[in-house]
Structure 1
Amino acid sequence: MWFKHLHLYRLHDTTPIALEALETALEAFAFRPVSPSEGKRLGWQRPAGRHGQQLAHEIQGHRLLSLLRQERLLPASVVREEVEERAAEREAAEGRPLPRRERQALKEQVVEEFLPQAFTRSQRIDIWWDTRRHLIAVNCASRARAEDALDLLRQSLGSLKVTPLAVRQLPSRSMTTWLEDAASRPEALRLGDQVELKDANGDEGVWRARGIDLDGDEVQSVLASGRQASRLALDVEDQLSLVLHDDLTLKSLRFADALLDEAAQQEDDDDPTLRLETDFALMAQVLSGFIEQLIDWLGGEADPAAPTS
């Protein structure tokens, strides 16, 4: 249940849909397995799995939704090889080069024939909806996957006005300052042991390090060359650790042992739904507090229509 990666969005519809209406809206787009002719399909599933009864859970204003993304795996190399073979046969039989348009049609034919035989891969994506703070976060590694999830939610609700969460200070600038000057760091913040530094002009590639002292001379030397932090591992005292990216994505989330122990000690009567809701409530409480702190550390929230500094 514990989230690993989060993409953060500001929700501009300030009046949330009622939970019962939300459940009905999601039911209309419940997951169905991908058909033989489809490349991918997305649909809502019950967060608690086969034991669950609900498509949406709400605890203290925090909502949890889950969708399943299923796709057929058809390697481009397989398609390309078959197209080349068929094109060569046609060219030999007709005594002419195959025009681009006909080659494209041949490719579409190969995909249509091979797709039903392709293996499928499924991925669960969770959405956390903080109705009190008007925040939506998508638990997945890829920004493109997060946008797919929001598109499905928008389709289900008929409308969804969201923009990526924006702050007044560029995260890269703040992360660089935290690296350069220990006194600039918020009191509850500690540096981890991972960093990625980019050349401001993009001329000299990316410098990455893991498992090192970020206050050491090596990092300071690279910073002195004019590079800026694009990723930085952070520890938030007694709460969680993560890698903050310059687009405000939170990656590699790990929650404090004390929180995991607290969750494990809660009585759930071996009820998977109660276990899910208990873990989710504790996690959402920590994450919502941290995100408020993070926004404050980065100069406050920016108007999404205004440029950041």
Structure 2
Amino acid sequence: MWFKHLHLYRLHDAPQISHDDLDDQLAEQAFRPLGGSEATRLGWRTPGGRGSERHLHEIQGHRLLSALRQERVLPASVVREEVEERCADREAAEGRPLPRKEKQTIKEQVYEELLPRAFIKSQKVDLWWDTRRDLIAVNASSRARAEEILDLLRQTLGSLKVTPLATQALPIRAMTTWLKEAETRPTGLILGDQVELKAQGDDGVLRARAVDLDSEEIQTLLEGGRQAHKLAIEVEGQLSLVLHDDLALKSLRFSDALLDEASQANDGDDAILRMEADFVLMAQTLAEVVERLIGWLGGEASAAAPSP
């Protein structure tokens, strides 16, 4: 239940929809298994798994939704080998080289024939909707996957106006300043032990792990013009994370005290109650951390609402 990554979005003109109505709409867009010739499919699933019929869990204004994505994994090398073999057979039989158009036709035929036999990969993606703060966050490793889930929610609701969360201070500048000038670090922010530094030219990327970020070596690199594009930080007493230059929060690790609090919840060995208890505790913590982070980055930048 505990999120590993977070892509944050500001919700504009939030749709006024009740819990029951939203649950019904999610059920209408419920996941269905891949058909024989389909490459991918995406739909909503119950956050509680097979033991639950509810597609939406809402506690204290925090909504939890889960999507399931399936795709057929067909290695390009397998397709290429089959295409090459078929093209060679045709060329030998007809005594002529095949033009590009015919090779493309053979490739499409091979793909269609092999796709139903390809391995199916499944991925569950959770979404947290903070109705009080008009904030949506997707627990996905990539921005592209997060946008895909938002598109599904947009289809489900009919419209959805969201923009990536943005701050007055660019994360790159703030992270670089925190590294260079210890006195600028906000109260409650603790540096971790990993960083990604990039130069403005073509000098490549430097990634460092398990290092002292206040070391002379790091300071020399910063003085040479490198900037921080990723930085491990800890929000004191709550969680540690890696802050990215696009404001994505990756590699979330919640504090032991928080996990201990969750483990002591009285759920009567009910898996759904345990999930809801963990979720609301996590959501409250994340909401506080996001607010602190926005403050550390100079406040939220205003953004025009997109079209539905």
1:97: Cα distance to partner?
Answer: 2.5
Count of residues paired in the alignment:
305
Q: Which residue of 2 aligns with 1:270?
A: 269
TM-score, with structure 1 as normaliser: 0.96
Q: Which residue of 2 aligns with 1:235?
A: 234
Using the alignment, how far apart are the partners of 2:295 and 2:102 within structure 1? 57
Q: Secondary structure at the match of 1:128?
A: strand
Does residue 249 in structure 1 map to residue 256 in structure 2?
no
Contact 1:33 1:41 survives alignment (8 Å): yes
The residue identity in structure 1 corresponding to 2:9 is Y
Using the alignment, how far apart are the partners of 2:123 and 2:70 within structure 1? 6
Q: Secondary structure at the match of 1:10?
A: strand
Runs of 5+ in structure 1 lacking a partner?
Answer: none
Q: Which residue of 1 aligns with 2:28?
A: 28
Deviation digits for residues 69-125 of structure 1 (CA, Å, limit 9, x no counterpart): 111110011011111111122222223322222222211111110011111111100
Q: Secondary structure at the match of 2:211?
A: coil
The residue identity in structure 1 corresponding to 2:108 is E
The 10-residue stretch of structure 1 (124-133 or 294-303) with the greater mean CA deviation from structure 2: 294-303
Does residue 173 in structure 1 map to residue 211 in structure 2?
no
Q: Secondary structure at the match of 1:302?
A: coil
The residue identity in structure 1 corresponding to 2:174 is S
> How do residues 14-163 of structure 1 correspond to structure 2 at under 5 angstroms?
14-163=14-163
1:51: Cα distance to partner?
Answer: 1.5
Does residue 221 in structure 1 map to residue 220 in structure 2?
yes
Using the alignment, how far apart are the partners of 2:131 and 2:121 within structure 1? 32
Using the alignment, how far apart are the partners of 1:95 and 1:299 within structure 2? 71
Does residue 293 in structure 1 map to residue 292 in structure 2?
yes
Structure 1 residue runs of 4+, over 6 Å off?
none
Q: Secondary structure at the match of 2:120?
A: strand
Contact 2:129 2:137 survives alignment (8 Å): yes
Runs of 5+ in structure 2 lacking a partner?
Answer: none
- Matched residues, percent identical? 67
Using the alignment, how far apart are the partners of 1:70 and 1:291 within structure 2? 31
Q: Secondary structure at the match of 1:11?
A: strand
Q: Secondary structure at the match of 2:295?
A: helix
Deviation digits for residues 151-200 of structure 1 (CA, Å, limit 9, x no counterpart): 11111111111111111111000000000011000010000000000112
Q: Which residue of 1 aligns with 2:208?
A: 209
Deviation digits for residues 229-261 of structure 1 (CA, Å, limit 9, x no counterpart): 000000111000000000000000000000000
Contact 1:16 1:131 survives alignment (8 Å): no
Contact 2:14 2:161 survives alignment (8 Å): no
1:305: Cα distance to partner?
Answer: 4.5
The residue identity in structure 2 corresponding to 1:130 is D
Using the alignment, how far apart are the partners of 1:152 and 1:198 within structure 2? 35
Q: Which residue of 2 aligns with 1:193?
A: 193
The residue identity in structure 2 corresponding to 1:111 is Y
